[in-house]
Amino acid sequence: MDTYLDRYQVPNSNQDQINPVITSTTVRSRPHGHHYKMALTTPLSPLLMVSALRCQGIYPLPEPCLSHGIIRLLVGKKAFISWQDLRAAELVKSWNNSLIMKLLHGATLVLHFFSRNKVMLTVSHINFSTQHATLRLTWILQNLSEVKRAVEEDNCCFGTIDTWLLYKLTKGSSYTTDYSNASTTGFFDPYGMCWSRLITTIVSIPLSILPPVKDTSYNFGSVDEKIFGVPIPVVALVGDQQSAMFGECCFETRHVKLTMGTGTFLDINSGKNLQHVNGGFYPLIGWKIGQELVCLAEGNAGDMGTAIMWAQKLDLFTDAAETEKMALSLEDSEGVYFVPSFSGLQAPLNDPCACASFMGLKHSTNKYHLVRAILESIAFRNKQLYDMLQREIQIPVTNIWADGGVCNNAFVMQMTSDLINEKIDRPAHFDMTCLGAASLAGLAVGFWADKEELQKLRQSEMVFKPQKKWQEYEVNMENWVKAVKRSMNWYNKM
């Protein structure tokens, strides 16, 4: 590869971005004569990129490669803006309280009343979020003069990381994205399957800077032969959570995936029909392969894995694997509660100005209590998301599969199973994003005949079953919710 992604957060700032620095990595591939196919998925992590390369028989030597990346937005040659960046928080707050949004909500509610059109009901609940690219892109267009100038000169292109990687790997011959990635941006209309003229017009984003949108499984061109030694066709582009859904084999309506990585993402397969949501979950395109269109509904919470990494930096433990034993060594957290809100609180609270905090600290509090409180907060947030799913999405849940690094923690898994009173299947392989992208590429070229063959390959490592009743956690969760409310609106300005 010829790219190194260096992620950094500016101290005492709400900036979270990634620098693309050109470097070089030597790779060696299988002997010539073998055929390669590639799928790209976003966001990217070091393990994902290495695994993806290995899936194609390409083995990076120990030199810099793709590092740290949870990426949603690309800005010229300067930096990638991550989904946890909060510089647009004030703009988000301003727009959500604006007269335009109030008129939009009111007008669509009236239209829904007379037409009973559920799309109008969904639009009436639309609010902007710091996690979607919409107002981050607007903020950039308003604040970066070089970007504004590039737009005026028709020399500016927007893309998520898949678009950028495809462009770089094909040496500029392919500039596009797929439906799954486009639907995560916040200014794609999943009902019309196109970029939303309404949203882009409201927030002044020119349609000319947006890439063409193709099927998830599509011939996107070939990687330049100079990079890997052979021209590898790129036959799939897919978003990160959609890829994880595919990797988990969540192919049927009512299948649910719980990803616990940097953040928590709860997705349900809603089949061919987009869900008409009420502001908590949001509709996404899962994947489009020929005539097959699969839709999802997603809710998410930030800073789950981030909180664990933060605690490790504070030397509360040396290895994340220790946290499970630390939590289990105590009967409870002794009234200590943690609010995981380094990048604000997402649905159902939607407060970018909330702060991360510990509450209930005492003289007797030690690092074991702090660690347990952090892990409990992850399970409590999972419970909030699941309850929201039950309220908003009128689809009975049949199966729940977990993935992501945090699902390796049995304490979090068991507590989540208890809280939602459901079985949760933990796979033998946690990096489902990589597996999903590889599966899509394999299906596209006939390496696997069909999805049934993929289902036979999936291996379950453990199934967590409810062991305690939800009522046993009720008081603790009520206190945690109280702590969350006291952390809200902490910052006057981001």
Could you tell me if residue 203 is inside a domain?
yes
Q: Is the dihedral of CA 218, 219, 224, 230 positive or negative?
A: positive
Could you tell me if residue 238 is inside a domain?
no
pLDDT band at 76 (very low <50, low <70, confident <90, very high): very low
pLDDT higher for 44 or 490? Answer: 490
Q: Quick one: 153 and 268 in the same domain?
A: no
As a whole number, mean pLDDT of residues 154-161 equals 86
Whole-number pLDDT of residue 21: 43
Whole-number pLDDT of residue 267: 97
For residue 93, pLDDT over 60 is answered with yes
**Radius of gyration, alpha carbons of the chain:** 22
pLDDT band at 65 (very low <50, low <70, confident <90, very high): very low
Lowest mean pLDDT among 77-81, 329-333, 451-455, 487-491: 77-81
Last residue of a domain, one of 106, 122, 138: 122
Total residues belonging to the chain = 494
Whole-number pLDDT of residue 339: 97
- CA dist., res. 161 & res. 251, Å (int): 25
- Evaluate whether 483 touches 337 at the Cβ level (below 8 Å): yes
Q: Is the dihedral of CA 446, 449, 451, 457 positive or negative?
A: negative
Q: Quick one: 295 and 435 in the same domain?
A: yes
| Coil/strand/helix, residue 358 | strand
Q: Quick one: 97 and 197 in the same domain?
A: no
Could you tell me if residue 451 is inside a domain?
yes
Residues 6+ apart with CB under 8 A from 264: 258, 300, 301, 304, 378, 381, 382, 385, 406
Predicted model pTM: 0.82
Query: If you ran DSSP here, which 8-state letter would residue 345 be given?
Result: B
For residue 28, pLDDT over 70 is answered with no
Whole-number pLDDT of residue 108: 83
Backbone phi, then psi, for 8, in 5-degree steps? -150, 150
Q: In terms of C-beta density within 10 A (0-12 exposed, 13-18 middle, 19 or more buried), how is residue 113 classed?
A: exposed
Q: Quick one: 310 and 350 in the same domain?
A: yes
Q: Quick one: 254 and 219 in the same domain?
A: no
Whole-number pLDDT of residue 328: 97
- CA dist., res. 81 & res. 72, Å (int): 6
Q: Quick one: 118 and 2 in the same domain?
A: no
Q: Quick one: 198 and 268 in the same domain?
A: no
Host domain of residue 114: 93-122
Percent of the chain with pLDDT over 90: 54
- CA dist., res. 336 & res. 185, Å (int): 37
Query: Any long-range contacts for 318-321 (C-beta under 8 Å, 24+ apart)?
Result: 320/405, 320/409, 321/408
Could you tell me if residue 64 is inside a domain?
yes
- Evaluate whether 426 touches 406 at the Cβ level (below 8 Å): no
Q: Name residue 209's beta-bridge partners.
A: none
The domain tally of the chain equals 3
Q: How far is CA 428 from the centre of its chain?
A: 21
- CA dist., res. 31 & res. 63, Å (int): 21
Residue closest to 317 by CA, chosen among 420, 409, 380: 409
pLDDT band at 455 (very low <50, low <70, confident <90, very high): very high
Could you check whether the bond before residue 64 is cis, i.e. omega within 30 degrees of 0?
no
Q: What is the 3-state secondary structure (H, E, C) of 256-321?
A: EEEEECCCEEEEEEEECCCCCCCCCCEEEEEEEECCEEEEEEEEEECCHHHHHHHHHHCCCCCCCC
pLDDT higher for 128 or 391? Answer: 391
pLDDT higher for 451 or 144? Answer: 451
Residue closest to 55 by CA, chosen among 441, 454, 446: 441
Percent of the chain with pLDDT over 70: 82
- Evaluate whether 216 touches 288 at the Cβ level (below 8 Å): yes
Q: Quick one: 282 and 223 in the same domain?
A: no
Q: Quick one: 97 and 116 in the same domain?
A: yes
Could you tell me if residue 68 is inside a domain?
yes
pLDDT higher for 390 or 45? Answer: 390
Lowest mean pLDDT among 143-147, 336-340, 477-481: 143-147
Q: Quick one: 332 and 448 in the same domain?
A: yes
| Coil/strand/helix, residue 444 | helix
pLDDT band at 83 (very low <50, low <70, confident <90, very high): low
Whole-number pLDDT of residue 17: 58
Last residue of a domain, one of 199, 232, 265: 232
Last residue of a domain, one of 232, 255, 287: 232
For residue 59, pLDDT over 60 is answered with no
Q: Quick one: 226 and 273 in the same domain?
A: no
- Evaluate whether 181 touches 128 at the Cβ level (below 8 Å): no
As a whole number, mean pLDDT of residues 42-65 equals 37
pLDDT band at 70 (very low <50, low <70, confident <90, very high): very low
Residues 6+ apart with CB under 8 A from 342: 84, 302, 303, 306, 307, 310, 356
